[in-house]
Structure 1
Amino acid sequence: MTHDTPPSDLPAAESPSSLRTPRESLPIALLRARESVMTAFRPMLAKHDLTEQQWRVIRLLHENGEMDASDVAARAFVLLPSLTRITRTLEGKQVISRRRDRLDGRRTLLKLEPAGAAIIHEVLPDHRRIYQELEAHFGREWLADLLERLELLINY
């Protein structure tokens, strides 16, 4: 037997030919969908000199008020070391502030500052326009249904 030929006793489910195609692969399809959607949002973020990760942090703090840095990292899907770098950058621009929790000195709390709120208000018209374009293309109900289905998948 050569190395090029799979053993004949290998179950069909384990043969390389039984792999799903990239089009049938859920992880790959989700990544492709994300990249497709982000092509609409990246120019908006670049226009406002923001990275995707910075925008996620700013949005979270806008929506939730002051938050523990570990919670921000988890909910923004950013590793803690990356969040530290993002925090330093945003703090340097006075977009956010950070402070130690008085009750637990190990915790760092992050808060959106007026400059951060101004960014939200500057980005909002472009953000709305992109969602209007998505709704015009796919339909509001379809997008709502997609978001519900994705939430079910997330909570699987």
Structure 2
Amino acid sequence: MPVISSEIEKDAMTLVLTAEFDAPPTRVWQLWADARQLEQWWGPPGWPASFPDHELAVGGYSPYAMTGPDGATSAAWMRFTLVDEPSALEFDDGFRGEDGEPDGSMPVMHGRVELEAVDGDRTRMVTRMRFDSLDDMERILGMGMIEGMSSAMGQIDALLRGDAPPRP
């Protein structure tokens, strides 16, 4: 599994996941930039994601949904606030209601992803998800965010090797 560490920084209200991959940062960047590749790993196993529109640009909006094995759907959105290809991106990430609009009853997370070359052609990806309050962080972590993100990132190695099973 590519996730080598997960840390909860309570004082900073931040979850930090660090993963390493056998590919250069330019290749790992494509996993974020290309919607079809993002769909192959963003949702955890059994919860494939779909990104009907994906705009990786400052101000770009990407609505998405993850569908569980029982057909339940979790709709969400990202809005990108920083794009520094191929080394960093930042985004706000939240849930959407049935009307497609942001769900104000759920927390918004603020993500930062840094891609760094290590050991030649490998990449270290550090993903920081910051919350507006400790209550928000505990609520989302209680929904299984660490496990979900870790298992989602665990699908990246097969995708990079080109032998990932197709997702619905």
- Which has the larger Rg? 1
Structure (1 or 2) with the greater helix fraction? 1
TM-score, normalised via structure 1 length: 0.29
Structure (1 or 2) with the greater strand fraction? 2
